[in-house]
Amino acid sequence: MSRFEGRSVIVTGGAKGIGAAICTAFAEEGARVMCADVDVVAGEALASAPTAAGEIHFLRADVSKAQECDDLVAATVAAFGGVDVLCNNVGIQPTDSYQRLHEVTDDAWDRILDVNLKSFFLVSRVCIPHMLSAGGGAIINTASVQGLQSAKGVPAYAASKGAILSLTRQMALDYAEDGIRVLAVNPGTIDTPLVDEALEAIGGDEQAIRVSMAAAHPMNRIGQPREIAKVVLFLASDDASFMTGESVCVDGGLMARGSWG
């Protein structure tokens, strides 16, 4: 199946975890993918891995910085001729920022909001004119179940994820008549470096914590990055042509259980 044959796709935070799975899944369906990340080693490794159908290019870009977003989109348009799909996926949850709000420094707050939220604005701002002139496109934002319900000790992260859901609705409204669909996914706990780092920071019996993380999800396991990527591709595809402004939980039932868990 090649739903994205020749399509141009940008994935931010694309080198590892959910982002890498999104890059790979699009390439498998024939897309030309621009993976943007600050992790050069992981990004170059992903770009040099063989892909069955499409291709993955890597560009080092800190998408919390406007100039680097401009350069990223210009490079993508130069290489692929436009941008059909933007996956605003980048997200950080720094382990030294597990604090209650009164302990959070200005720098930690700004860094998390700049990477997790402002980058979505900055990259979208430069992609949208290309989508408008092409007559449409799709923007898929990686939010989190933490945009819907709260975990302790991550105020800036939680604020960024809630804001992504609100921004998704807002953008969907503003571009609905232009053929640009804007959607979000809310992953539960997924087997990624972000979660590995969180486990390390928590300390203690890692295996026991992994078991309790899994048990929080009614399916009694955490998810795999590919299980998010598959839904992202569906949302970006013509199969989801009447969907916009919505967010989809991909969480093994975590939000169905909600706070009763």
Instruction: Tell me the catalytic residues.
Output: 157
Residues of this chain that interact with ligand BMA (CB under 6 A) are: 93, 144-146, 151, 188-189, 195, 198
Structure tokens at 208: 């026991």
SS (H, E, C) the chain: CCCCCCCEEEEECCCCHHHHHHHHHHHHCCCEEEEEECCHHHHHHHHHCCCCCCEEEEEECCCCCHHHHHHHHHHHHHHHCCCCEEEECCCCCCHHHCCCHHHCCHHHHHHHHHHHHHHHHHHHHHHHHHHHHHCCEEEEEECCHHHCCCCCCCHHHHHHHHHHHHHHHHHHHHHHHHCEEEEEEEECCECCHHHHHHHHHHCCCHHHHHHHHHHHCCCCCCECHHHHHHHHHHHHCHHHCCCCCCEEEECCCHHHHHHHC
Q: Which is nearer to ligand BMA, 124 or 146 (CB)?
A: 146
Instruction: Residue count of the chain, please give it.
Output: 261
Structure tokens at 149: 């319900």
The closest residue (CB) to ligand BMA is 144
Q: Which is nearer to ligand BMA, 198 or 250 (CB)?
A: 198
Cα–Cα distance, 17 to 226 (Å, whole number): 9
Cα–Cα distance, 239 to 181 (Å, whole number): 12
Q: Which is nearer to ligand BMA, 182 or 222 (CB)?
A: 222
The nearest distance, CB 150 to ligand BMA, in angstroms, is 9
Q: Which is nearer to ligand BMA, 141 or 189 (CB)?
A: 189
The nearest distance, CB 93 to ligand BMA, in angstroms, is 5
Q: Which is nearer to ligand BMA, 151 or 219 (CB)?
A: 151
